[in-house]
């Protein structure tokens, strides 16, 4: 046993796979301790918020401590942020189209450009070739230019409830800064939010956990069925074998995924829990395990050590458990790993087709992908809504396959160097 573990962990492939898998597992376990939010809690009004830090605007203006930073480029950056070179060129184009002398316009001189703009721009004028989209753009631009060059602070005013008049309550100077950590309300969304306005990272980690559980349940169901049928079929032989082989052939001929789709569909959305889906995946994917186990058992059942065990008066159950099972145990473990990984993929596949677990009770990796696809995240370039999920699926599958290849190298004499 100890030697076996030593051998297993001597395999570089297995160790890499194991470390990746362990890292995923640990993240799934540890993350919720630090971020106890419910994974399906809707936290954003608006969908697909991009990854990054969000600082509460209200609180940042209201912040008690203000820092005056005399940064030379602050103004230039503000101007550039609201009036890009592209904007300048567009303004110039409009002004020229509206009859302003081209020579008069100095695109680089912001003050002069703004003056000209204020003087000439009329939102109701539509120049030849100008679309409504352009018009909307110019209107938005004009709105954003207001007070661009003002060197004074922005005035914050509120209505006096008694008089109903607007009263100045504060001035935010252009040199005022707030330290992000001192803003009471700031949130970091490493992976932004999804179509429901949920935190993708929290959801992803929870989904990984659920998907792994689905994989484990599916893998264990599939491997148990496959193992029992394979053992019985291979060892007992005769009629029993023929019946079981017939069932196996039946399941081999019917494409498993199609079967899976049909079963999932007929169960109906209402009763498709994550656990049900896992069991269904398990119930449809045991065939190759049972085939492989059967083949192994057939090659084992006439071995001398089995004969010796028989001669020692052991029962069939004892022989299966003690003389056959240990010999195929490593194989079964490898099959289990592959079944787990394929279970996770099967769930993802089903969910993408909209046949996964009952939606939005728990997140799964497949469901997240499904939602991202329905909401066209891929077309709208909301990469954070699908790429990390694909990556996690790939990583899980990669780590499991690495572990499997590693084990294979340790246990399969034909591959041993």
Partner 1 sequence: MKFTRFTIVALLLVALVAVSVAPAFAQDTLPRNETLYFNGQQWGSVVGWNPYSSNNNNAMAISQGDNARVLMFETPYLYNMLDGQVYPLLADGPFAWNDERTELTFSIKPAAHWSDGTPVTAADVAYTWATHVKYSTPTGAGNVDYIDDIVALDDSTVVVKAKLNDDGTAVNPLIVQAYVSSNYVIQMAWTQALEERVAEDATAFLADTAEDVVFSGPYYKFFTDDSKVILVRDDNYWGQDASMWGSLPVPKYLAHTIFKDNAAGTTALQAGEVDVSQQFNSNVQDLWLVDGLPISTYLPEAPYGIGASLPTAFFNLTGSSFGLDNLAVRKAIAIAVDYPTIIANAMTNQSATFDQVPRSLMNPTPGEQALYDQAAVADLQWAGNDIEGAKAILDEAGIVDTDGDGWRELDGQKLSYIATCPNGWSDWQAAIEVVAAAGAEIGIDITTNFPEWSVYQTVVTKSDAPLPEGYDIFMMWSAGAGPTQPWGRIRNLLSSEWLGMASNWSGNWGGYSNSEVDALIQAIPSVTDEAELKDMYTQLVDMYLTDIPSFTLMYRPQSFHTVNESVWTNFPYDGDGTEPPVPPLDLMDGWSVAGLYNLELVNP
Partner 2 sequence: MKSDKVILSGKGVTKIFGFGSNKTVAVDHVDFSFREGEVISIVGESGSGKTTLAKILLGLLKQTEGEIYFDGQLRDIRSHSKKKAYWQNIQAIFQDPFSSYNVFRKIDAVLLDCIRMRGGGRLPYDKKREMMREACSFVNLKFDELTNKYPFELSGGQQQRLMIARIFLLKPKILLADEPTSMIDACSRATILDMLMDLRNEVGMTPIFITHDIGLAYYVSDTVYIMEHGKFVESGSADAVILHPKKQYTQRLLSDVPKLHEEWDLSTV
Partner 3 sequence: MSKPILEVNELTTNYVTRFGDKIFAVDHVSVKVDDGKSVGIAGESGCGKSTLALSLMGYYFPPLYYASGDIIIDGQNISGMDPDVVRKTILGNEISYIPQAAMNALNPTQKVIHFIEDVIQAHYPHTPKKEIYELARERFELLGLPAEVLQKYSVELSGGMKQRTVIATSVILSPKVLIADEPSSALDVTSQKMVIKMILDLMEKGIIKSLIFITHELPLLYNVTDDIMIMYAGQIVERGSADEMVFDPIHPYTKALMGSIIVPEEGLRDVKLTAIPGTPPNLKNPPSGCRFADRCKFVMPECRVRSVELRDIGGGRSYRCIIPEEDLRKAYKSEKR
- Binding interface with partner 3 (CB under 8 A): 10, 416-417
Pick the piece of the chain touching partner 1 (CB under 8 A) from 107-115, 132-140, 248-256, 286-294: 132-140
Q: Which of residues 56-85 bind partner 1 (CB under 8 A)?
A: none
Least distance from partner 1 to the Cβ atom of residue 206, Å: 16
Binding mask 295-334 for partner 2 (x = CB under 8 A): --------xxx-xxxxxxxxx------xx--xx-------
Is residue 83 within 8 A of residue 148, CB to CB? The reply is yes
Q: Name which of partner 2, partner 1, partner 3, none residue 379 binds, using a CB cut-off of 5 to 8 Å depending on partner kind.
A: partner 1
Q: Which of residues 324-353 bind partner 1 (CB under 8 A)?
A: none
**Residue closer to partner 3 (CB basis): 231 or 410:** 410
Q: Name which of partner 1, partner 2, partner 3, none residue 131 binds, using a CB cut-off of 5 to 8 Å depending on partner kind.
A: partner 1
Binding partner 1 (rule: CB under 8 A), the pick from 94, 371, 386, 411 is 371
**Residue closer to partner 1 (CB basis): 264 or 290:** 264
Q: Name which of partner 3, partner 2, partner 1, none residue 10 binds, using a CB cut-off of 5 to 8 Å depending on partner kind.
A: partner 3
Comparing C-alpha atoms, which of 8, 36, 21 is closest to residue 392? 21
Q: Name which of partner 2, partner 3, partner 1, none residue 242 binds, using a CB cut-off of 5 to 8 Å depending on partner kind.
A: none
Q: Name which of partner 3, partner 2, partner 1, none residue 417 binds, using a CB cut-off of 5 to 8 Å depending on partner kind.
A: partner 3
**Residue closer to partner 2 (CB basis): 179 or 305:** 305
**Residue closer to partner 1 (CB basis): 22 or 380:** 380
Least distance from partner 3 to the Cβ atom of residue 239, Å: 32
Told to check if 144 binds partner 1 by CB under 8 A, we report no
Told to check if 360 binds partner 1 by CB under 8 A, we report yes
**Residue closer to partner 2 (CB basis): 278 or 328:** 328
Sign of the torsion formed by the C-alpha atoms of 23, 39, 401 and 385: negative
Least distance from partner 2 to the Cβ atom of residue 250, Å: 24
Which residues bind to partner 1, rule: CB under 8 A?
41-42, 44-48, 129-134, 136-137, 139-140, 195-197, 268-270, 354, 358-361, 371, 373-376, 378-381
In the complex, the residues that contact partner 2 under the rule CB under 8 A are: 303-305, 307-315, 322-323, 326-327
């Amino acid at each position: 046993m100890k030697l076996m573990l030593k051998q297993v962990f001597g395999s570089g492939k297995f160790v890499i796979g194991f470390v990746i898998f362990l890292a995923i597992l640990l993240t799934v376990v540890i993350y919720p301790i630090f971020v106890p939010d419910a994974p399906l809690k809707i936290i954003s009004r608006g969908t697909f918020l991009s990854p990054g830090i969000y600082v509460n605007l209200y609180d940042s203006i209201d912040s008690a401590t203000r820092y005056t930073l005399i940064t030379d480029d602050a103004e230039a950056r503000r101007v550039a942020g609201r009036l890009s070179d592209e904007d300048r060129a567009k303004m110039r184009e409009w002004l020229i189209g509206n009859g302003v002398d081209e020579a008069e316009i100095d695109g680089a001189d912001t003050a002069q450009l703004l003056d000209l703009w204020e003087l000439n721009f009329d939102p109701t004028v539509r120049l030849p070739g100008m679309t409504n989209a352009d018009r909307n753009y110019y209107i938005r631009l004009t709105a954003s230019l207001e007070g661009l060059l003002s060197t004074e602070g922005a005035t914050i005013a509120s209505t006096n409830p008694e008089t109903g008049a607007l009263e100045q309550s504060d001035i935010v100077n252009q040199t005022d800064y707030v330290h992000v950590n001192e803003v009471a309300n700031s949130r970091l969304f490493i992976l932004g939010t999804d179509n429901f306005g949920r935190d993708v990272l929290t959801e992803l980690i929870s989904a990984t956990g659920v998907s792994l559980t689905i994989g484990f349940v599916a893998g264990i169901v599939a491997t148990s069925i496959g193992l029992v049928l394979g053992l019985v079929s291979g060892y007992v032989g005769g009629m029993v074998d023929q019946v079981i082989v017939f069932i196996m052939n039946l399941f081999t001929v019917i494409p498993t995924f199609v079967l899976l789709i049909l079963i999932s569909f007929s169960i109906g959305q209402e009763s498709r829990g994550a656990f049900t889906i896992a069991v269904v995946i398990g119930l449809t994917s045991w065939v190759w395990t049972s085939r492989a186990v059967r083949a192994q058992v057939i090659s084992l059942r006439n071995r001398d050590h089995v004969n010796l065990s028989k001669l020692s008066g052991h029962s069939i159950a004892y022989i299966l458990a003690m003389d056959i099972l240990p010999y195929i145990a490593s194989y079964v473990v490898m099959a289990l790993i592959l079944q787990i990984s394929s279970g996770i993929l099967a769930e993802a596949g089903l969910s993408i087709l909209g046949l996964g677990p009952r939606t939005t009770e728990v997140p799964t990796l497949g469901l997240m992908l499904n939602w991202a696809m329905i909401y066209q995240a891929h077309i709208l370039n909301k990469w954070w809504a699908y790429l990390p999920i694909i990556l996690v699926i790939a990583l899980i599958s990669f780590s499991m396959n690495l572990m499997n290849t590693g084990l294979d190298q340790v246990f399969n004499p034909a591959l041993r160097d």
